[in-house]
Structure 1
């Protein structure tokens, strides 16, 4: 059965590998820098530093003339200002579909979850990759209608988040497997707590991955 390999590298950063190609999502400042090693394409959900380390990503784009990136326009602007090659930066919004290094990507949604009513939310694009892996960034954006998500990268801790919302989102998406992400602000006790609650109530297989631990995701 065809599959892709998913690995998590801390906080919101994940790698997807298939047929010798590598796609990276949200290589931010809380994520192990190794997430970008050998990447062929990068997706960024939004502009916050814990989702995009602008200097590091700009340097990776400069060093590798084949590397391309897709992100909301605000991220593209920051990377351009940091010296990244503009011809390999692609602004994207919800509703777009595109090929990124051989991976079929659907961009979904438009806006970051509310942090506080007094703070205008930035643009946030969720990504459904190869129809099976959904990374929502900082949102609870549902997948496109009719999608059958195999793996949901599930945010579990943030200033904008209640754990009950994570559980409700997990139940709404109803993936086969939930991989918790967005947890760098938690200590070991906090990680154990969210794993117990989300893993016990979410209604899906819940699997916390160690850095670099592979998860094989079947493709349709």
Structure 2
């Protein structure tokens, strides 16, 4: 499979069977272009940095081949008029999106503060290989080869990220959710998440638009 990293939490996963786009949010400047390039979009949760509602609303209105998957808090707005192409996802669901098998895990967004309500958050294991957790340190009860690791945000903590990587025990870890880190901050996280420090595998840091085989 090929994994292409775009700005912040947005990635494309693809192979000869097809492709899915995950979390095209407002921090992804080419979100509309990316949505136009696929037939399936997965959304982990409702926060604007993970879903650009305007982009998806426009695409659903113009295309009859686009399918959007996500928690009800995200997709219910589009059910009327697009019920055959908008899919509510719950933890435990298994389905095929854009030609690729997907398994959903979750519950809730990680806690930011006691005064900030927690929202539904679904993580996706795509192709049995790549796991995107959204905004939570979700540990799926399946083997994960490539784990996408959020490294910045109001809910993240380096120690928790280390424990998360250890719990999942993947073959490869790739940085996502990095927009709040400077280059120096990203280098610091990479040092901690390295075999010389606290992780068995090194953190792969990809610039927007870069791809790796997974």
TM-score, length of structure 1 as denominator length: 0.90
Q: Name the SS of the counterpart of 2:103 in structure 1.
A: strand
Deviations 1:106-145 (A, max 9, x none): 100111111111222000001111111100000011012x
Moved more, 184-193 or 23-32: 184-193
Q: Name the SS of the counterpart of 2:120 in structure 1.
A: coil
User: Equivalent residue for 2:16?
Assistant: 19
**Given the alignment of the two structures, is residue 36 of structure 1 paired with residue 31 of structure 2, yes or no?**
no
Deviations 1:163-185 (A, max 9, x none): 11111101111111100100111
Which of 189, 203, 206 is 2:203 aligned to?
A: 206
**Given the alignment of the two structures, is residue 160 of structure 1 paired with residue 155 of structure 2, yes or no?**
yes
Asked whether the equivalents of residues 193 and 201 of structure 2 are also in contact (C-alpha less than 8 Å), the reply is no
User: Equivalent residue for 1:102?
Assistant: 99
**Structure 1: gaps spanning 5 or more residues:** none
User: Equivalent residue for 1:55?
Assistant: 54
Distance in structure 2 (CA, Å) of the matches to 1:122 and 1:6: 27
User: Equivalent residue for 1:115?
Assistant: 112
Using the TM superposition, give the Cα deviation of residue 64 of structure 1 relative to its aligned residue in structure 2, in angstroms.
Answer: 2.4
Alpha-carbon RMSD across the aligned residues, in angstroms, is: 1.6
**Structure 2: gaps spanning 5 or more residues:** none
Distance in structure 1 (CA, Å) of the matches to 2:191 and 2:78: 38
Asked whether the equivalents of residues 17 and 99 of structure 2 are also in contact (C-alpha less than 8 Å), the reply is no
- After TM superposition, the runs of 4+ consecutive aligned structure 1 residues lying more than 6 A away are none
User: Equivalent residue for 1:136?
Assistant: 133
Asked whether the equivalents of residues 73 and 92 of structure 1 are also in contact (C-alpha less than 8 Å), the reply is yes
Distance in structure 2 (CA, Å) of the matches to 1:122 and 1:209: 28
Which of 180, 187, 194 is 2:182 aligned to?
A: 187
Using the TM superposition, give the Cα deviation of residue 79 of structure 1 relative to its aligned residue in structure 2, in angstroms.
Answer: 4.3
Distance in structure 1 (CA, Å) of the matches to 2:66 and 2:89: 17
Asked whether the equivalents of residues 176 and 205 of structure 1 are also in contact (C-alpha less than 8 Å), the reply is no
Aligned length: 210
Distance in structure 1 (CA, Å) of the matches to 2:26 and 2:43: 13
Using the TM superposition, give the Cα deviation of residue 27 of structure 1 relative to its aligned residue in structure 2, in angstroms.
Answer: 0.5
